[in-house]
Structure 1
Amino acid sequence: MNGAADLAIDVRGLSKQFDGRTVVDGIDIQVRRGEICGFLGPNGSGKTTTIRMLCGLLQPSAGQGHCLGFDLLTQSRQIKLRTGYMTQKFGLYEDLSIEENLRFIAEVYDMPNERELVRQTLERLGLHERRQQLAGSLSGGWKQRLALAACLLHDPELLLLDEPTAGVDPKARRDFWHQIHLLAAEGLTVLVSTHYMDEAERCHRLAYISYGKLLTAGTTQEVITDSKLQTWEVTGPQLDRVIALTAHSEDWMAVPFGTEIHVSSVSAQDFGAWLAGIEPHHPWQVRPIPTGLEDVFIHLSRHAQDNF
């Protein structure tokens, strides 16, 4: 497959308005088949609205394109039938067991060989041993796995995951991402929204949206390179003074990172030289470090325009 046929998602100028307010503003998204695309951005940036337009649950106010080869505007039913959508909030029946939830979904959608299908899905997601456990008694990680199993019952070609690991412990998150990569290796396309930088780095490509506008897209390295940020690590005593010194300057962005501070800038200045110029005998150690994804995304959020 080449060109457009190789794209599971190919939309351009996608926009959505509610009561005259634009919450998604002319964004372009392209995701190749079998690819994991991380969809990032602050709360209220339009990620959920975009995902709901992509799977046919919301009609765009403007824009065009295709999902899985079907027209986004005129063939939403065909897209829904081939897409699995995992919402932020757990939406299954908590007073039913894991197996009962999956059997109920299979029966509602009149899926063939329902019992065998459910058995295979339980095995595939490592849920078979817990199949009789009530969904309401599950931990966050197991609820997440059950929700993913429900999304996979109809063997979708595209998986849309809306902050699936929010509130889940690190081991459950790691196990979840292991499963996602296994699914992608089988050819499933995944678009996943997340706030976690370690999860973003697990994706093949990234798209960052803020206040409805797509600000950057590409591989991790492309996103970092395109930002043109330089970053320095500052260590030493009274680091709050460094933040205070940079607070009123448009050139520097200082952000605490544990026991150190990261200072980033798109200017050609050297932060160590600048700091020595205003504090000649300062007690801090300054060294250049590679810019990370979190540095880039904080910088992008800082300069985005609110669309409220």
Structure 2
Amino acid sequence: KGHINPALRFANCLLKLGVDVTFCTSLSVVQLIDKETIPQGLTFAPFSDGHDKGKHPNTTLQQFISDFETNGARAAAEVIASAAGTRQPFDCLVYTTVIPWAARVAHAHGIKSALLWCQPATVLNIYYYYLNEYHSLISSNNNSPNYIEWLNTQAKSSVVYVSFGTIASFQMEQLEEMAVGLKDIRRPFLWVIRDSNQAERVRKIVGLQEHGMIALVAGLRIVAFPQWSDQPTNAKMVEDVWKTGVRVRTREGDGMVEGKEIARCVEMVIENKEMKANTEKWKEVTREALKDGGSSTKNLQSFLDDL
């Protein structure tokens, strides 16, 4: 949901400013959205990408992306065309980095398009310098709400949250090392694991559910375990710039992160008073930006004015 949640939040901001918004995405994604998080007044235009129950394990990521583009481009074109000539035609198509083809659809129908950048601006700068200056130098769903009840019984800021998104995956050996590390710290944790077989293996290592049922704006300290895309840059920002967390160190030779390293990092971010102070500082900075008259709201209004 790394792109869906920011898109929903952006849609909510536009709705508050009186803009009509239609959210076009696949049926499989719509099924994952918590209905309570849907902004009031938002219109949905779902389409079938050929994977209505989600990506099948036997389907390659390349094929999944290709199917999404083929069906998504057709659906977006139909939605735009259906409103053409009406009192409320579409003026702009906003898309995220995972669907660059959306800009071509907008251009083909004579409307503007805008990229909703969900990654840090630092990552955007890296792409720019790579292409223009430094190219030669840089070559399981849980439908039970029990975990909410469990979280409500824990002390404030005491739970370690573990999640690696919807695409990144690990070998079982690495998952076992993480499980050992989390068990050793003897602190409550919430770990999101999609694969039921992996979840069962982790549960056997860690113990029963009661041990562990398994960020910046929220004021949370971070243990970064970067895998791909913008994650290495995010990890560097967390550790070296914002100083709100640490990055795990891999084992020399095979790149494995040992359980004791996981435990060391978690204990460090929990006990480090400087990191705690920094998270509170950045939380307040970001909240000020989101207030009326803040830099974030001003930028959003500027975007609408340009349209």
TM-score (norm 1): 0.26
The structure carrying a bigger strand percent of its residues is 1
Higher RCO (Cα < 8 Å, 6 or more apart): 1
TM-score (norm 2): 0.26
